[in-house]
Amino acid sequence: MRDQRDDNSTRRITVLCDAVSELGMGHLVRCSTLCRALAEAGAGVDMVLLHGGRADLVDLPGVDVRVMTVAPQDGPEAAREFLSLIPEDAALAVVDNYRLGREFYQTLRALCPELGVVAYDDFGEKAGLPLLGVINGGLSSAEVAYPGRYSLYSAVGLEYAALPERCLAVMPKADWAASVSRILLVMGGSDPERQTLRLARILETLDPALRIEAVLGPLFGERDPGFEALGPSVMVHEAPSDFLGLAASCDLAVTGGGSTCMELLYLGVPMAVLSLADNQDLMTETIERNRVGFSLGRFDKVSDRALHEALTSVLARPDELGTRARRGRETVDGQGASRLARRILAASDLFNGRGFGLAQVVREYHEASFNEHHHEMGLWGSEEGMRNRFRLAMQLLGPGREPSWLDVGCGPGDFLTEAAAALHPASFTGLDLCGRTLELARSVVLPDTETRLFEQDFLEPVQGEPFSLVTGLGVLHKCGHSLDTAARRLAGLVAPGGRLLLSTKHLGWKRFDDPDFLPYAGHAWFLPEQVASALARHGLEVPEIRGFEPRTGTWVPLGEAHSIMILAERRGA
């Protein structure tokens, strides 16, 4: 169970990432960059490293770093441990790894549906997982199709290429050499495939005048004895403190296809790229296709002879190297980290129902009150859809005699008119944010019902509370408050033995599997289990959640519904 989150509380984000030698430094670098940007944007930030992670490599003042003990291959147990390690008020989790499988994400969703999860994705490998969204700021991001439901919560595109501060501190190249004399050789932070020595041997045979700056990253481990046999043209640097300054001073970089490529693009360093893993293949291919560098192919599919020929060809085209580097420099502007942080915080706000302030909601309903038709005043899609919602609500509630009924967002009183004969309320209280609309509701006269109408927000004290029945049709997804705040207050308005009926928008609609079918961005979308969990945390039981189709007025399976209705109850006499 998550702790209560006040609408004005600091937004808290937890980042889970890999920091192990066999996977290189890319995960840790980009996650650390995001953590810094989030903290600068005013968020609370925590970092969790997967089993085997090196906490000593994390340099984030003020950020709590924890290391998991459960192996990522044990998905359900890893999910449970992860939840035990993150703060109770975490609003969103960002996950960056390739070792966690579907079971991990499914377990997170099942155990804590109110925790939104966004995952780094480099080539579409996470498109089918139960996620809120993805982060893909790579060159190939435009080539990946994600489910439409991800759109509101994802950061996809080169504008989100988040570069570390140490990269932005280096002056990018302003011009390019007429010939190559100095080559940077780097295969990432760990070189798990041990390609550095292989390439150094090839490069030193190309031209005795070439100077090769071979970099062994901080996770490289023990140096192979073969490095000692290299000639004087090869200088070996172990985890140099000014790696990017060194890179910017070179005429060409021979590199792996990981995150270093984005840094080299920003710095304007010409590059020839060797793919070292599946998740680097698309990046390497895109670099060649977009003509911002040269592809050397896949490390395990290209021979030494082929590499020698490819590098010889690259060195023979210095003008083309400069042209491609200049084009690459124009693709990455260095502002991606701050954009990404803002996007992640906006996704967190929207998922938790905090994306729209109360003043904005009041303004929209006030403007809508000048429309001619009642359904337009309530921002319903059609008269038929509005009436069908009311009829379905009555099917779920059933007839009976309600001692007291509170309708949040009562509008001009149409639901009261529809339901009064079946509910026989002794008293009816209607709340609405728009006084003009309430004036129309005052024309609804029920002889045997005490009727009270108030222009106010439901968070304010309500005369006569608590109530035997509280309804809020079409309110939750844009009420000016977070889901948790709304759930807490609505639950508090329900008397012992009373009921709460809500309708809202459904993020799990199967139509949103289609990349071209996107959720409307003008309100929040919720998962059924997310709403049920929020209500349960505040003392309500949720016996029924149904999907419905407003246009036809029929109940449909949840997966086929873009709207859901939730019936909750408070135990007690």
pLDDT in tens, 308-326: 999 999 999 999 999 999 9
Q: Identify whether 7 is part of a domain.
A: no
Please state, in angstroms and rounded to a whole number, the distance separating the CA atoms of residues 115 and 84: 13
Q: Identify whether 247 is part of a domain.
A: yes
For residue 221 the two structure tokens come to 């481990």
Secondary structure (H, E, C), 17-39: ECCCHHHCCHHHHHHHHHHHHHH
If 0-12 CB within 10 Å is exposed, 13-18 middle and 19+ buried, where does residue 200 land?
Answer: buried
Who's near 439: CB < 8 A, 6+ residues apart?
A: none
Distances (CA, A) of 124 to 31, 86, 133, 136: 19, 27, 12, 9
Beta bridge partners of 185: 214, 254
Looking at 351, 386, 401, the residue that finishes a domain is 351
Residue 405 has pLDDT above 80, yes or no: yes
Please state, in angstroms and rounded to a whole number, the distance separating the CA atoms of residues 369 and 436: 6
Distances (CA, A) of 160 to 30, 91, 157: 11, 21, 6
The HSE-up count of residue 286 (CA atoms within 13 Å, CB side) is 22
238 and 169 inside one domain: yes
Q: Give me the pLDDT at residue 4, please.
A: 44
Report how many domains make up the chain: 3
* Number of other CB atoms surrounding residue 521 within 10 Å: 11
Q: Give me the pLDDT at residue 258, please.
A: 87
315 and 403 inside one domain: no
114 and 186 inside one domain: no
396 and 542 inside one domain: yes
* Number of other CB atoms surrounding residue 309 within 10 Å: 12
**pLDDT over 70, % of the chain:** 98
Confidence of residue 8 (pLDDT cuts 50, 70, 90): low
Helix (H) / strand (E) element for 156: namely strand 155-156
* Number of other CB atoms surrounding residue 332 within 10 Å: 25
Phi first, then psi: give them for residue 22, nearest 5 degrees.
-70, -15
Please state, in angstroms and rounded to a whole number, the distance separating the CA atoms of residues 232 and 444: 93
267 and 303 inside one domain: yes
Whether the pTM exceeds 0.75: the reply is: yes
What domain range includes position 491?
358-569
Phi first, then psi: give them for residue 272, nearest 5 degrees.
-120, 125
Residue 1 has pLDDT above 50, yes or no: no
381 and 500 inside one domain: yes
Q: For 128-183, what is each residue's pLDDT tens digit?
A: 999 999 999 998 898 899 999 999 999 999 999 999 999 999 999 988 988 999 99
Beta pairing, strands 133-136 & 211-216: unpaired
Q: Give me the pLDDT at residue 7, please.
A: 61
For residues 7-22, average pLDDT: 81
Best CA proximity match to 148, nearest among 161, 138, 134: 134
Calculate the CA 31 to chain-centre distance.
13
